[in-house]
Amino acid sequence: MRSYWYITFLLLFFSCSSSEIEQYTPVPYELEIPKLFQDKLIAPILPIDNPLTEEGVALGKKLFFDKTLSKDGTQSCASCHNPSKAFTDNLKTSIGVDGISGKRNAMPLYNLAWNFDENFSWDGKDFTLENQALDPVRNPIELHANWTNVANRLQSNSEYKTLFNRAFGTSKIDSILVTKAIAQFERTLISGNSKFDQYLLGNTTLTPEEENGFNVFMEEAKGDCFHCHGSNNNPLWTDNLFHNNGLDRSFLDLGLGAVTGDPADNGKFKTPSLRNLAFTAPYMHDGRFNTLEEVINHYSEGLQPSATIDPLMKKVNQGGVNLTAKDKADLKAFLLTLTDFDFVNNPNFQE
């Protein structure tokens, strides 16, 4: 059935293109999928109504770094999503163009095409990457602009007109095409080359400490991190689902609960990937922990009971499973093997 459609499509395509003489055809972009992802995971989400093209990705990158997208030309997406920090800003909570601090920590951006349910943000409020990109531009605590103005500004720039024409076959710029281009760029942000990846591929070995740390991560009686944060068989290092990991007894920020309106979702936030923690401090949705030691202490003895705490959090009455000092140090050493230097240094992702 697929090939039938494909051929019909080709036919239609050729019959159309012959009538429109000067139509530029963008070049399909080949996503380089890491071997482990290819082996272990289902295919990434690449929407058919926004296929990756060389021109679209390049345009999306330019827009991502362009301060034209903000109210006063002072910020771009990259101001909060800095490539050398795995696309975070190292602030507790992000500060927008008006100098106002939001209530959430900037999220790292990588492997977004493998967020299979396509629920983005800490609370899952944005469905699809294209839709997500609409938000920061008009959000008063982020770029605080207005899409009509942004589109007009881009429209008056002859270079952008050409680039949009090449990527999308039209020089009529609007929020839909801007977010399509940005989403294309975001889907190319892949992090899959850490020391642990190389270890799984058989190209390097772990230190005894890192190895023990991985065991702490995997052992149900100890860390039991793998039920939510992936494993050697799920190299995303997240389930992309929403959980309450026991940070608070009562919630200032309801998280998923505010989106679904279901009190059973209060205090639930998206499990972040554990790749690139070396670059993404501070941690958690509100940036409350400055170090990995604090994070590990939280899971080990700082758990706070609440009606929605995830059942995977053990011995909550004792604050957690009380890991030994050695297990804690080794767990940290293991977590840092998920650091991907190639990703933060990748020239394709820099301005």
**Residues near ligand HEC (CB under 6 A):** 69, 75, 77, 79-81, 94, 96, 102, 104, 106-107, 109, 112, 120-123, 129, 132-133, 136-137, 142-143, 182, 186, 223-225, 227-229, 243, 245, 247, 269, 271-272, 274, 277, 280, 283-285, 295-296, 299, 310, 312, 331
The answer to whether residue 118 forms part of the interface with other proteins (CB under 8 A) is no
Q: Does 79 bind other proteins (CB under 8 A)?
A: no
Percentages (nearest 5) of helix, strand, coil residues in the chain:
45, 5, 50
Q: Please, what is the minimum distance in Å from the beta carbon of residue 81 to ligand HEC?
A: 5
264 binds other proteins (CB under 8 A): yes
Asked whether the beta carbons of 270 and 122 are under 8 A apart, the reply is yes
Q: Which long-range contacts (CB under 8 A, 24 or more apart) does 7-16 make?
A: none
Complex with other proteins: residue 169 or 305, whichever CB lies closer: 305
CA distance 259 to 243: 14
Q: Does 14 bind other proteins (CB under 8 A)?
A: no
Spatial separation of the C-alpha atoms in residues 351 and 61, rounded to whole Å: 8
Please tell me whether the peptide bond between 47 and the residue prior to it is cis, using omega within 30 degrees of 0: no
Residue 227 interacts with other proteins (CB under 8 A): yes or no? yes
Q: Is 310 in the site for other proteins (CB under 8 A)?
A: yes
Instruction: List, in order, residues 6 or more apart from 128 with CB less than 8 Å away.
Output: 47, 118, 120, 183
Q: From the CB of 304, what's the least distance to other proteins, in Å? A: 12
Q: Are residues 70 and 136 in contact, defined by beta-carbon separation less than 8 angstroms?
A: no
Q: Which does 80 bind (CB under 5 to 8 A by kind): ligand HEC, other proteins, none?
A: ligand HEC
The least distance separating other proteins from the CB of residue 308, rounded to whole angstroms, comes to 8
Which of 139, 157, 175, 232 touches other proteins by CB under 8 A?
A: 232
Residue 119's DSSP bridge partners are: 127
The torsion angles phi and psi of 16, rounded to 5 degrees, stand at -75, -45
191 part of the interface to other proteins, by CB under 8 A: no
Contact, 96 vs 140, CB < 8 A?
A: yes
Choose from ligand HEC, other proteins, none: what does 104 bind? Cβ within 5-8 Å by kind. ligand HEC
Q: If binding is defined by CB under 8 A, does position 220 make contact with other proteins?
A: yes
Interacting span for other proteins (CB under 8 A) from 6-14, 132-140, 167-175, 330-338? 6-14
71 binds, among other proteins, ligand HEC, none (CB under 5 to 8 A by kind): none
CA distance 162 to 182: 17
Instruction: Provide, rounded to whole angstroms, the least separation between the CB of residue 297 and other proteins.
Output: 20
Q: Rounded CA gap, 230 and 278, in Å?
A: 18
Shortest reach from residue 67's CB to other proteins, in Å: 37
Buried b (16+ CB within 10 A) or exposed e, 13-26: eeeeeeeeeeeeeb
Q: Residue 205, CB half-sphere, CA atoms under 13 Å: how many?
A: 3
Q: Does 233 bind other proteins (CB under 8 A)?
A: yes
> Which residues make beta-bridge pairs with 255?
268
Q: Considering only residues 296, 309, 331, 344, which one is a binding residue for other proteins as defined by CB under 8 A?
A: 309
| Residue 331 interacting with other proteins (CB under 8 A) | no
Q: Write out the residues near other proteins by the rule CB under 8 A.
A: 1, 3-4, 7-8, 11, 39-42, 114, 116, 215, 218-221, 226-228, 230-234, 236, 239, 264, 305, 307-317
